[in-house]
């Protein structure tokens, strides 16, 4: 099944950070990717996201404004299983 693509909008990209707003339509996905930097996610929507990982599927419940951190090397496909748009801001921390 082909899913719609999540839409990234880079808001800041400098020597220190890349800040990207991600907008997921219902059923939207990022596609498989591996994070090359440590990162922080700040949800702008409350609800579940489905993560396809090398170890299987995991549902993660996110809450608006409650940030979380993940280390470099995370590999997954992020999917919005809901029926409305899901939005988060991702802050990638560049190495000095």
Q: What is the tens place of the pLDDT at every residue in 40-84?
A: 999 999 999 999 999 999 999 999 999 999 999 999 999 999 999
Confidence category of residue 96, pLDDT binned at 50, 70, 90:
low
CB 11 within 8 A of CB 19: yes
- pTM as predicted: 0.94
CATH topology of domain 7-93: Jelly Rolls (2.60.120)
Those residues with Cβ within 8 angstroms of residue 88's Cβ, 6 or more apart along the chain or in another chain: 21, 22, 41, 42, 43, 44, 45, 62
CB 18 within 8 A of CB 10: yes
């Amino acid at each position: 099944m082909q899913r719609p693509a999540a839409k990234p909008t880079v808001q800041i990209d400098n020597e220190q950070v890349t800040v990207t707003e991600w907008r997921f339509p219902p059923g939207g996905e990022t596609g498989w990717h591996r994070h090359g930097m440590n990162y922080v996610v700040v949800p702008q929507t409350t609800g579940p996201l489905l993560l396809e990982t090398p170890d299987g599927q995991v549902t993660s419940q996110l809450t608006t404004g409650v940030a979380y951190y993940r280390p470099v090397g995370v590999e997954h496909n992020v999917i919005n299983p809901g029926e409305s748009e899901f939005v988060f801001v991702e802050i990638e921390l560049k190495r000095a």
